Amino acid sequence: MRRDVEHCVRLGCDGAVLGALNPAGEVDMDTMRVLTSGARAPALDGIGTIAALLRQADGRIGVMPGAGVSEQNVRALRVGTGARKFHASARSPVVAQVHARHAYIRDLGGDYQRTDVARVCRIVAALQEP
């Protein structure tokens, strides 16, 4: 896994999500956190399942709601599930400055999405509201 993360760093990835197994091939419970949408998309539609998972986990493992988490729904997710940590891409579209295409490099020159700091701030602010 270390080499996987090092490779992601070399590629300029924003992050990496990995599974963690111990030498016996079992899930390493010391580093366990489940990222879940409650088997629905967006996570708001899986709110009941996420809440049940959090109750069942009872602090032994982390349960993090993700999938469509936004400034509009993060408070409802917090209230409805009891979760305190959330996964959100908080992306916004960016219009490409380069319009040339390259046959071997996918997405070169095309519009793309990236994490929007203002959206992240709005999500954090929504979580700080009473």
Indicate whether 85 belongs to any domain: yes
**Would 19 be classed as within a structural domain?**
no
CATH number at residue 88: 3.20.20.380
List C-alpha distances in Å: 119 to 69, 72, 76, 92. 11, 10, 17, 8
Supply the pLDDT for residue 83: 96
C-alpha distances in Å from residue 28, one per residue of 19, 40, 52, 97, 118 = 9, 26, 22, 44, 35
In a domain, 72, yes or no: yes
For residue 17, being part of any structural domain is answered with no
How many structural domains does the chain have? 1
Q: Per-residue confidence of the chain (130 residues) as pLDDT tens digits?
A: 678 888 878 888 766 777 677 788 887 766 678 889 999 989 999 999 999 999 999 988 889 999 999 999 999 999 999 999 999 999 999 887 766 666 666 656 677 888 999 999 999 999 998 7
Domain assignment present for 16: no
d(CA 50, CA 69) in angstroms, rounded, equals 13
Q: For residue 37, which of 65, 62, 16 has the smallest C-alpha distance? A: 65
Range of the domain at 53: 32-128
DSSP 40: S
Model pLDDT, residue 99: 63
Quote the pLDDT of residue 113: 87
- DSSP β-ladder status, 33-36 and 62-65: parallel
Domain assignment present for residue 1? The answer is no
> How much is the pLDDT for 29?
67
Q: Is residue 43 part of a domain?
A: yes
pLDDT for res 103: 64
